[in-house]
Structure 1
Amino acid sequence: MFLRVLALLCSLSGMASADIYKVYLDADRTSNYASARSIEIGILAAFDEVDRVVNGREIEFVPLDHRANSKRSKRHLQQFLDDPQAIAVVGGLHSPPYLSSKDYVNENGIPLLLPWSAAAPLTRAQTSKNSIFRLSLDDAKAAKILVPQAVTQDKCQHITLILWRSGWGESNERTMTAEMKSLGFNRYNIRYFEGNLGEADALSLANALDVAGSDCAIYVGNAKDASVIFTALHKTDMKTRMLSHWGITGGDFEEDIPVEVRDGLQLRFIQPCFSFETPAGSSGARLKQIVKTYGKDFDDSGYLRAPAGFFHGYDLGLLFIEALRNIEDEADISTQRAMLIKALTNIEGPIDGLLRRYEFPFSEYAVQNPEAHEALEVGDFCMARFDNEDRIVTAKSDHF
């Protein structure tokens, strides 16, 4: 009798609850809280569109803090696999945790949805087994935005790539040097920095740019290190124009670095082509309702910090809901996750998000089809800057 009861309990442990789906958020809520919260609001706002119920089941959001630590992130993925109600994981700002766990995610069929992490290899598996989907910047595309801006638009004479020593930085070295070579530009050098660098190291880096004669630099790293490096560059009084990946927008950079430093470096960075200032039609109406619902997170003008996470999270949430509607919810949870992965590749649309209309945003992955799990394109991104009120706005070429 005991063995029959035990077998029944084991069987039930593999089944999802009849009334709930859990969606995990694995993000850095310690040193990059703004990005984590922005993603969270975007995802929740999308869930609000269906009253947080799909297939008769309530969607429960589970925010977890990996503190920019890959081992903690891996533990969250293990926790997810052991949870019979957990259907998908939403990732945070950082790429390194998912680069280190990429094989684990794909081998275990974890539906991992990325509204921020940008490292190019994340959505590109070496086999057809691929459960990672991105609605965010893809570094293979970031190079095609930042490098032409520097070479063609800004007419830079010498460029230094300032890269965080990580899988993310190395990925950007490959894509950006390839893009410069494709443009016939070879006047560049590369400087890596270790995370959490001090002022002395930052000043040494600034001096290296001076010696190299770099009139422009492209930065790939996060907000904390950018604050130290950009301050050091400003102190040297160099005439270096700074282009940046959007990693600087996920923390407290705009509060730590005064306007004169940002403008002295003519700082611009990538953002999705959407502004809180100019929404029209249904997007404006949706934003108005979201601001009303999550008012404490928005300022008086209706602006939300780290806005890329919000826009991407919202649109990705809509795609997730559409896919979730098309799975068999009576199957065991492992089968449901596999069905969700398949359903994501079969979304037809049209689905109107805040950034664009989505028709066939994903397709079935193969090594020969490396863009299959990328929902956005180069044309969905623009250059942006911080204004005097620390808000992100579209950067006009004649601003400086």
Structure 2
Amino acid sequence: MSLLQKTLVAAAALASTLTLTSFSAQAQDTIRIGLVTAMSGQSAKAGEAITRGLVVAIDEINAKGGLLGGKKLELVRRDDEGSPAKGVVAARELIFKEKVAVLVGGLDTPVSMAIVPLANQEKVPFVGPWAAGTPITKNGANPNYVFRVSAVDEIVNKAMLQYAQKTFKSTKPGMILVNNPWGESNEKGLSAALAAQKMTPAGIEKFEANDLDVVPQLTKLKAAGADTLFLVGNVGPSAQVVKSLDRMGWKVPVVSHWGPAGGRFTELAGPNAKTVHFVQTYSFFGKQGPVGEKVMKALVAKYPDVKGADDVTPAVGVANAYDAMQLAALAISKAGSTNGDAVREGFYKIDRYEGLIKTYVKPFTAEVHDAVTENDYVWAQFIDNRILPVGMATN
């Protein structure tokens, strides 16, 4: 080998070493946060809202100097398309390839339920800002790496019954539920809530996520004397229920889980979308506290399409994700590292956080992995394509 060839080989080896060192240093200088959620299809708005909540929180944390002595947070996203199988593939890629310190996800209970065993097996904290299925956090694992800043079915179900009784004087509610694990979770929770008050439902009917006509199921509930409908389904299916009620001419109060808030509900459901009352964890309408004002200012500055509260939709995606990211950052700080088990323990060490949804005081314990309680819900409806708290006049 000539002297020139030897020089070129040595230079290439040095360049390769420097590149690897640079990549290694870059990896060490950042803390990666993974997001698995629906970013396409009917629920894309909700996936974007979750993204924005995370980004605003990450920007804020990075502007303050990052975590663990100056490491900046970096968000890495994957689209699960609402599919459990695709969700697991995405989660595996984020855990094994991207080496995320915390995994965040997502919208659909079936997707989250599919990811839970992987997160627990690989000891990666999995934080939920949307999916409400009770078994997501109550999954039987010990230790349990799954935490949530969102609604929880069994708590929402109690709130749905209380709201139906108070607002519509309901004594004989019927259930119309999507036929998947989320629907099953709510059937169990609603049945327990009714049983606790010595009530029985007028009936329990299921529908498939792709059904275009729910008239047969609704006809059975009407014949059984249902005076209110408890609705559980995401955007598209919930819209089909409203349109089926229109075809029947049945004007019955609808008290819903928050599925309709996740996307183009008013467009798909038509004018009677406004008759559905659904649960939320936060609203940017009305007087905001200091954190609400700060987050709104950041959203307006970062996203050209956001001019005010009307444009932050669905608000729960932003709010839940913002608080979830801030709490996860506190857990990492308490851990003093990104080691999964240490971060899990870090969640238990959070004493107090002045959040967007509320002030969190010891939000997590070894027994309780849900930070939002029945006292933290807001009831809302669509008015002129805006998600407004029930009873709030339009401006």
Which residue identity lines up with residue 269 of structure 1 in the other structure? F
How much does 1:294 deviate?
Answer: 2.7
What is the distance in 1 between the residues matched to 2:314 and 2:259? 10
How many corresponding residue pairs?
370
Q: Percent identity?
A: 23
Match of 1:386 in 2: 382
Which residue identity lines up with residue 308 of structure 1 in the other structure? V
Confirm or deny that 1:252 pairs with 2:254.
no
Over 3 Å counting, the alpha-carbon distance change for 1:301 and 1:111 in structure 2 is closer
8 Å CA contact retained: 1:133, 1:374: yes
Match of 1:7 in 2: none
RMSD: 2.5
For residues 26-52 of structure 1, give each alpha carbon's deviation from its aligned partner in whole angstroms, at most 9, with x where no partner exists: 001112111111111111111122226
In structure 2, stretches of 5+ residues that fail to align are 1-22
What is the distance in 1 between the residues matched to 2:97 and 2:24? 9
Over 3 Å counting, the alpha-carbon distance change for 1:239 and 1:102 in structure 2 is same
Confirm or deny that 1:209 pairs with 2:211.
no
Q: For 1:77-88, what aligned pairs fall within 5 Å after superposition?
A: 77-83=91-97, 85-88=99-102
Confirm or deny that 1:361 pairs with 2:363.
yes
Which residue identity lines up with residue 197 of structure 1 in the other structure? D
What is the distance in 2 between the residues matched to 1:392 and 1:248? 10
Of structures 1 and 2, the one scoring higher in RCO (CA 8 A, sep 6+) is 1
| Counterpart secondary structure, 1:18 | helix
Confirm or deny that 1:18 pairs with 2:28.
yes
Match of 2:244 in 1: 232
| Counterpart secondary structure, 2:28 | coil
Higher alpha-carbon Rg: 2
| Counterpart secondary structure, 2:50 | helix
In structure 1, stretches of 5+ residues that fail to align are 1-12
For residues 347-393 of structure 1, give each alpha carbon's deviation from its aligned partner in whole angstroms, at most 9, with x where no partner exists: 112x11111111211112xxxx3xx11101101002111112x1111
How much does 1:275 deviate?
Answer: 3.2
Residue of structure 2 aligned with 1:321, choices 312, 323, 329 = 329
Match of 2:303 in 1: 295
Residue of structure 2 aligned with 1:49, choices 60, 71, 78 = 60
What is the distance in 2 between the residues matched to 1:212 and 1:14? 65
Q: For 1:80-159, what aligned pairs fall within 5 Å after superposition?
A: 80-83=94-97, 85-159=99-173
How much does 1:192 deviate?
Answer: 0.8
How much does 1:167 deviate?
Answer: 1.0
User: TM-score if structure 2 supplies the norm length?
Assistant: 0.87
| Counterpart secondary structure, 2:362 | coil
Over 3 Å counting, the alpha-carbon distance change for 1:141 and 1:22 in structure 2 is same
| Counterpart secondary structure, 1:21 | strand
- Deviation >6 Å, runs of 4+: 13-16
Structure 1 or 2: more helix by fraction: 2
Residue of structure 2 aligned with 1:183, choices 197, 222, 229 = 197
Match of 1:306 in 2: 314
Which residue identity lines up with residue 292 of structure 1 in the other structure? V
Over 3 Å counting, the alpha-carbon distance change for 1:46 and 1:191 in structure 2 is same
Over 3 Å counting, the alpha-carbon distance change for 1:15 and 1:212 in structure 2 is farther
How much does 1:80 deviate?
Answer: 2.3
What is the distance in 2 between the residues matched to 1:302 and 1:384? 14
Over 3 Å counting, the alpha-carbon distance change for 1:275 and 1:215 in structure 2 is same
8 Å CA contact retained: 1:161, 1:217: yes
| Counterpart secondary structure, 2:33 | strand
Over 3 Å counting, the alpha-carbon distance change for 1:131 and 1:296 in structure 2 is same
What is the distance in 1 between the residues matched to 2:178 and 2:359? 34
What is the distance in 2 between the residues matched to 1:188 and 1:158? 6
What is the distance in 2 between the residues matched to 1:108 and 1:15? 24
What is the distance in 2 between the residues matched to 1:257 and 1:299? 26
Over 3 Å counting, the alpha-carbon distance change for 1:71 and 1:232 in structure 2 is same
Match of 1:3 in 2: none
